[in-house]
Structure 1
Amino acid sequence: MSENKFDLSDRLEDFAATIILLYDKKPLSYAGDYLAKQLIRSSCSSALNYGEVLGAGTDKDKINKLRICLKELRECHRNLNIQTKAKLFSNENLTPLKDENEQLIRIMVTRIKNIKQT
């Protein structure tokens, strides 16, 4: 993950890249393949949509785009939980991803609240 823990763009990109690297080798089951592809899509979507946040013109537009990022991160959260419960990957591999995912969700929620308060 990124050394500069304060650059949200980098953290989102690093989160997506880490997932891509983890799933570089095709999972051996239908479920593993399905969940891996969906996790890659949702993690990349959160990073790509955050780029849209940075270019948003109004606070309302920023909030809407941040909500999309949050939705995708929450999807990642559910996906990682399912993979953990199904034992598709070891906890050693998934725990750091789950931790970063939870931190990113909290950051997005805080950003949305802060914009609403201004």
Structure 2
Amino acid sequence: MGTKENIIHVKSFDFALQIIELYKQMLNQKEYVLSKQLLRSGTSIGANVEEASAAISKKDFISKMSISAKEARETLYWLKLIEKSQIVKIDVSGLLEKSEELIRILTSIVKTSQGSLK
């Protein structure tokens, strides 16, 4: 397993913990709809990274990492919506940056892995 894969394991797990924390804060502010969407997509990034590490083939690995990247993009969308709508009074700018970083790392892993398939 390469260095990027190790980094993505740690970063996606830490990100999921922060998403859970944000979810709790949002519930405290009586926001139940966006918070649930965010919780689902934000925690599934790491879950798919974890599944990728047990992939049975290179194609399976790429598929799981691609799903992680899509979930990270969806999470970025929810975070932007939370920030712009001001539906809750919580600063999500740090999480926006972290989700963009996860997208960059995951995209790089997918592209590198696809390159080695050829």
Structure 1 length-normalised TM: 0.85
CA apart distance, 1:22: 2.0
Cα shift readout 1:54-106 (whole Å, capped 9, x = no counterpart): 01121111111111111111110110111111012457x20110000000001
Q: What does residue range 79-118 of structure 1 map to in structure 2 within 5 Å?
A: 79-90=78-89, 93-118=91-116
Could you tell me which runs of 5 or more consecutive residues in structure 2 were left unpaired when the two chains were aligned.
Answer: 1-5
Identical counterparts, % of pairs: 32
- Higher relative contact order (CA closer than 8 Å, sequence separation 6+): 2
Paired residues for 1:8-27 under 5 Å:
8-25=8-25, 26-27=27-28
Contact preservation (8 Å) 2:58, 2:113: yes
| Aligned-residue offset at 1:21 | 1.1
- Looking at structure 2, the residues matched to 66 and 87 of structure 1 have their Cα atoms a distance apart, in angstroms, of 31
Contact 1:12 1:46 in 2 (8 A): yes
Q: What TM-score, normalized by structure 2, do the two folds share? A: 0.85
Between 38-47 and 81-90, the greater mean CA deviation after superposition: 81-90
Distance 1:90 1:40 in 2: 17
The two structures, once aligned, show a CA RMSD in angstroms of 1.6
Distance 1:42 1:52 in 2: 15
CA pair 66-112 structure 1, distance change in 2 beyond 3 A:
same
Q: How many residues align?
A: 110
Q: Where do 5+ consecutive residues of structure 1 fail to align?
A: 1-5
